[in-house]
Chain A
């Protein structure tokens, strides 16, 4: 990279630093008694926001060098190499048989951890980590289809669909075992 000019130390930066300092100095007052909060990793997938418990999320990885694998179900989009570990990438849209197929904006992979299994979920964008009160979860809406209904934990007030990662990971459908006849 070329030598870049240092950013000008203007009043904006001062303001930001000041805000940071204030934020750091503030005690965590915002802690409520409701301990039942979920740490969700919020991500966007095909114009819908989904959330998944961060317990199950090992990390978030950008989608690079997706290796296609033949003779796999359509929801299995391929494999990626995460620091030496091969992770299967699954497209939830195809898994749930949603419309709007296509790798339009999918460039993030949520690597889910499960005992003896690592799975990657394609996402358009990672919005962030959020805590939502567990009580705010509402049961599934009737508008959702059956395919997804089984994997949902609920929907938050701002229409965040919370996925049940455990069930997803335990689904036998995920396991692909096919043999190619010679």
Chain B
């Protein structure tokens, strides 16, 4: 199997080489730099040795100075440099030993230096001790003896020798350093140049291999993005990603072109195309397939709907014409009701007026009935008074009757007396008859007695007739009184009835008045209602007129709809399903 050199591998290789180059460069640089550093370090080392040597010397000098000062002054303060020098001397010497461990010469010298320094210091100390014992002269003498000078010179000599050697070393090392620096510069420069050249070459190769095809593809993609599907890519037999990309681009372009063809057909009205998606995830293909299917379905539905629309439009048209006709009828009917409404209105007006009039009359009648009620009450009171009078009359009549009865009794007794007298007379006559002749005188007496009895009887009869007349009159009066009383009662009852009737009348009049008021209000409302009805009628008329206009509009709209349906039909027919 042929190794597919992918772009990744190429890139990796290129970058790897570059990396190797960089690493090499870095290594070289590191090496030279470390060398330089080392050399610099040696230089620095040498400088340090020199410094230390100087310091050592100075410390020795400080000690001496301190000693001398003390010797001169005798003050402990002036021993400070001495003490410092002592300490530092030791330190510096040890340091030097450490530093010059690599240089045997220097080590020898240092070893030789050590005792000298020791001795020097001992001498110094001696001097100090002498002075301490406040022996200035001795100390002075000591100093001037110059015993310490020799050690000092030796020391100095050694130190100087050390210094010289170190300086020689320094020079040598400096030269080496310079030389190595130059070497480094050259090496690095050459390497850098070579490396960059290499990198440039590789870059160019890569560019040609990858970037150029990609540019081509980019151009094609741009054109495709703009919609120009005529762009095509030159196919190469490459097996890396770019080649694959190119192939896929080609396939994609072909696919888009096929889609474009399908779209063109669909736009042309041929819905019979079949779209097969490339895969399940082919969004565009699926969408197109769905779109075509939907369009087909939609077109069939629209065709059906258009048919329905056509029929409906015709139906609407007929209904609209019917509506227009009925609107005209409504308008005529409304105008017919004009007169009726006017009459109703007038009637309502009249009713309202009449109701108000009735209300006023009822009010007056109510007042009159109130006064009538008062009059009835007065008449009832008068009737009661009359009744009382009648009752008193009846009582008088009763008394009269009783007295008449008494008179009658008296008359009866008188009559009885008369009868008895009569009997007596008869008896007397009988006795007189029995007596015969002697009884004639007695017979006359008897006769007189009888005539007396007769007179009494006549008188009695007369009185009785008078009495009966009186009785008749009395009874007539009593009857009349009773009748009068009854009449009065009747009158009272009637007047009370009249009073009640008047009251009832008053009530009913009040009710009538209220009813009239109640009638008056609705009558007024009726009037306003009639006005409103008239207005409503007007608005109905307007409305029906508008209805008519609307029906006309609807007619035209239906006509338009019909035409629209026809046009839709034509449009839909263009699409072949």
Residues of chain A whose beta carbon lies under 8 Å from any beta carbon of chain B: 1-2, 7, 16, 20, 23-24, 28, 39, 41, 54-55, 57-62, 108, 126, 128-129
Contacts and interface: CB of A to CB of B under 8 A. Distances in A.
A54 B426 CA distance: 10
A61 B413 CA distance: 17
A54 B434 contact: yes
Interface stretch (B244-252, B304-312, B417-425, B485-493): B417-425
B476 interface: no
Contact of A60 (B423, B433, B434): B423
A59 B430 contact: yes
**Most chain A beta-carbon neighbours within 10 Å: one of B426, B440, B444:** B426
Nearest to A43: B426
B427 A60 contact: yes
Interface residues of B, number: 19
Given A128-B426, A128-B429, 7 more contacts: A1-B413, A2-B410, A23-B444, A28-B440, A60-B427, A62-B420, A62-B423
**Most chain B beta-carbon neighbours within 10 Å: one of A1, A24, A54, A62:** A54
B360 to A, nearest CB: 74
B448 interface: yes
A41 B430 contact: yes
A142 B103 CA distance: 240
Closest 6 CB pairs of A and B: A129-B429, A39-B433, A59-B427, A54-B433, A54-B430, A60-B426
B448 A20 contact: yes
Nearest to B413: A1
Nearest to B447: A23
A58 B448 CA distance: 20
B430 A126 contact: no
Given A1-B410, A2-B410, A16-B455, A55 B426 contact: no
A126 B440 CA distance: 21
Tell me the dominant secondary structure on chain B's binding face.
helix
B423 A61 contact: yes
A115 to B, nearest CB: 15
Given A1-B410, A126-B423, A60 B444 contact: no
Tell me the dominant secondary structure on chain A's binding face.
strand
A1 B422 CA distance: 21
Nearest to B431: A59
Contacts of B426: 41, 60, 126, 128-129
Contact of A57 (B410, B413, B430, B440): B430
B317 to A, nearest CB: 124
A39 B420 CA distance: 21
A20 to B, nearest CB: 7
B445 to A, nearest CB: 10
B450 interface: yes
B552 to A, nearest CB: 122
Contacts of A20: 448, 451
Given A60-B423, A60-B427, A62-B419, A129 B433 contact: yes
B428 to A, nearest CB: 9
A1 B413 CA distance: 9
A5 to B, nearest CB: 12
Nearest to A42: B426
A40 B434 CA distance: 11
A86 to B, nearest CB: 19
Contacts of A7: 459
Contacts of A23: 444
A94 to B, nearest CB: 24
8 contacts: A28-B440, A54-B433, A55-B434, A59-B423, A61-B423, A62-B423, A108-B423, A129-B433
Interface in B426-478: 426-427, 429-430, 433-434, 440, 444, 448, 450-451, 455, 459
A7 B413 CA distance: 17
Contacts of B450: 128
**Most chain B beta-carbon neighbours within 10 Å: one of A28, A39, A61:** A39
Contacts of B451: 20
A128 B447 CA distance: 10
B574 to A, nearest CB: 148
Nearest to B459: A7
Contacts of B440: 28
Contacts of B410: 1-2
Given A2-B410, A54-B433, A129-B430, A24 B423 contact: no
Nearest to A57: B430
A59 B427 CA distance: 5
**Most chain A beta-carbon neighbours within 10 Å: one of B423, B427, B434:** B427
B430 A60 contact: yes
Nearest to B424: A60
A44 B420 CA distance: 17
A62 B418 CA distance: 12
A23 B444 CA distance: 9
B443 to A, nearest CB: 8
A64 to B, nearest CB: 10
